[in-house]
Amino acid sequence: MERAPPRFLCVGLFPTPILSSTHFIEVPLWNRLMNNTKRIGLTLIALLGVMLFAKLRGAESTAAQRLLGRLAAAETQADGVDRLALPEADGQRQSVAWDSGSGDGSAVLGVLPQDLNRLLLAIAAAEQALVDSSDGLVVATSPKLLADLESAVGPFLSYPESTSLLLGTLSGDREGVLDLTSEETYGAVRAIYWLLVIKTGRGEGRSEVLEVLAALPEIHADARDLLVFAVTNAAANGKLILDTSFLQEILFLRSVFPEALELYSALFGVIGDSLSAEKKGSFFAVFGEETDDPTLARLTIKNLLLSDNPEFGLFLAEQRLDDPSISQDVKNAIAAAVAKNADIYSASSFLSGRAESFKNSPTLWMSLGFRDDAEIALGVEYQGLLASGAAPDTRRLLVSAMSGASYDDLQRLAGNDDDGVVVGQALMTATANRDRWSSVQVTETLQLLEDTWAAPSNGLGSFGLSAAQRLAVVHNLAAKAKKAGDSGSLDRLLGILKGVATDPGEKGSTRASATRTLERYLTPYEIDALKQG
């Protein structure tokens, strides 16, 4: 076999073992050698390679454009059907026509672009009708409405270059304008979704998936998130379409499109979830040295922690957090991965040991706290600090994460800790859970608040309980009282809030916070009267 010329090197290297780059040099020879089915598949794969090649060499690559033109001409000549295979590189739609050569009985639709828009709107309308008719169920069963959707999707199934056409439509024009209404955009994304799902379900579809993945950086920003969401959630036969078989291609695309680094890194999140513990470790260990991409850093640590060697993941996380050259964004992402995925005792110890670095990252602590049985591990760390009387701020953070602890345990903790900010946090955590309510809780909690609360001008209680914490507890109790229909408790709590809102000794921000809570329960007239009083 003769050596491939360098301009086709990209196509030749693309992981499609049945191809040789020399097949695409001589179009007439290729036409004679390949049958229709293979040619269509190879056309799509070649298109993918050429698109990547054009991206590497710039949009003005004349070699790529010549090849695109020759491929399009070959398709036009095939089967006597006048069909122009490809949209232009600038995303402008071209006239296309198709017939139901697949034999599924779809009607001939005429000439685009008018029919393309109509079909896109038909898909959006059909799906909306299905949702409107489902009446709260999670499964749609109306035969007529399902048939309407099939009628709208069917033409795309029978036209071999549908994916290319739709991706070109979603790319926008030369000026960066997406010339579609929001319904048409939704319809186009959903058409791609159905193409991927149905073709994959039929045992085909790999080339379409590759084409979509390669086109993602070119998709208009107004459509990209929707398309990525559709692709990453697309499943056929109970299995996600985007699986480990696309790992190498995504790695390749990530290297080819560095401006879309985070876009492709995010796809690892979907694929990583389907890897075995052993494969998680071997695959993601490769990215251990990547320290610039917060998304990839988070996914790497997450999957290493879930692999068959989680100790390495924890070690790497600790090493990265101690590295002063790594950005805070990456460090926050790594800490988030540890909080959510390390075993709860390791995660609690990890955060507790670095509390000073993450003391103003409440979501980090709460993400650990929402895990099963986390309150046990957090309690171990907390008790260790309480015994030595150390680090009240760290104790506060640990308590803020104890969303799974019982109301009684948190009340007991509040009664035993001698630091006001820890007491305040314990009461906030205890009252923030929607399942815990009794009028007795109101009395006990308010008693505890009043026992520890004094209001000097700086807004801190006698033991450091802050005004924000006090108001937060009253806010939570008021919400629960209203939900439970306990008007007696609600009136008592609103009285406390009114007192704070009208106390000239309170800071302005504290009075404003109390007023905002009162606005949920009082009429505008009552609020005005309160402000004037």
Partner 1 sequence: MLKMKPVSLAVLFLLLAATPLRTAFAECPNTSASQVDVEFQAHGELKTCGLGFVIFGIGGAILGENCPEHETRVPAHQECRGAENAGTECSKDTDLAVETRECACGGLVIPGIRIGIPTTCSCEGWYKSGTVEDFRTERCDGPDGL
Contact residues for partner 1, defined by CB under 8 A:
124, 127-128, 130-132, 134, 136-141, 146, 149-150, 153-154, 157, 182-183, 185-186, 193-194, 197-198, 201-202, 226, 229-230, 233-238, 328, 359-360, 362-363, 365-367, 370, 400, 403, 425, 428-429, 431-434, 459, 466-469, 471-473, 475-476, 479, 507, 509, 513
Q: For partner 1, give the closer residue by CB, 126 or 216.
A: 126
Q: Give long-range contacts, CB 8 A cutoff, 24+ apart: 472-476.
A: 472/424, 472/428, 473/424, 473/427, 473/428, 473/431, 473/445, 473/449, 474/446, 474/449, 474/517, 475/517, 476/428, 476/431, 476/432
Q: For partner 1, give the closer residue by CB, 229 or 315.
A: 229
Closest distance between partner 1 and the C-beta of residue 521, in Å? 12
Q: For partner 1, give the closer residue by CB, 57 or 359.
A: 359
Residues 6+ apart with CB under 8 A from 174: 90, 91
DSSP SS3 for 239: strand
Closest distance between partner 1 and the C-beta of residue 52, in Å? 28
Q: For partner 1, give the closer residue by CB, 16 or 295.
A: 295
By the 8 A CB rule, do 347 and 377 touch? yes
Q: How far apart are CA 225 and CA 252, in angstroms?
A: 21
Closest distance between partner 1 and the C-beta of residue 425, in Å? 7
Q: Cα 53 to chain center, whole Å?
A: 30
Residues 6+ apart with CB under 8 A from 264: 216, 250, 253, 254, 257
Report residue 454 as tokens: 């004094």
Q: For partner 1, give the closer residue by CB, 132 or 175.
A: 132
Residues 6+ apart with CB under 8 A from 251: none
Closest distance between partner 1 and the C-beta of residue 312, in Å? 26
Closest distance between partner 1 and the C-beta of residue 196, in Å? 9
Closest distance between partner 1 and the C-beta of residue 139, in Å? 5
Q: Which amino acid is at 357?
A: S
Q: For partner 1, give the closer residue by CB, 199 or 492.
A: 199
Report residue 180 as tokens: 């579609």
Closest distance between partner 1 and the C-beta of residue 428, in Å? 6
Closest distance between partner 1 and the C-beta of residue 186, in Å? 5
Q: How far apart are CA 367 and CA 298, in angstroms?
A: 14
Q: For partner 1, give the closer residue by CB, 60 or 132.
A: 132
- Cβ neighbourhood burial of 146 (10 Å; 0-12, 13-18, 19+): middle
Closest distance between partner 1 and the C-beta of residue 340, in Å? 8
Q: For partner 1, give the closer residue by CB, 254 or 475.
A: 475
Closest distance between partner 1 and the C-beta of residue 334, in Å? 16
Q: For partner 1, give the closer residue by CB, 308 or 503.
A: 503
DSSP SS3 for 187: helix
Closest distance between partner 1 and the C-beta of residue 278, in Å? 25
Q: Give long-range contacts, CB 8 A cutoff, 24+ apart: 113-120.
A: 116/165, 116/169, 117/180, 117/184, 119/152, 119/155, 119/156, 119/187, 119/191, 120/180, 120/183, 120/184, 120/187, 120/188, 120/191
Q: For partner 1, give the closer residue by CB, 78 or 198.
A: 198
Q: For partner 1, give the closer residue by CB, 90 or 225.
A: 225
β strands within 239-335, DSSP E: 239-240
**Dihedral sign (CA 418, 419, 424, 429):** negative
Q: How far apart are CA 234 and CA 309, in angstroms?
A: 30
Burial pattern 466-490, b for ≥16 Cβ within 10 A else e, equals bbebbbbbbbbbbbbbbeeebeebb
Q: Which amino acid is at 340?
A: K
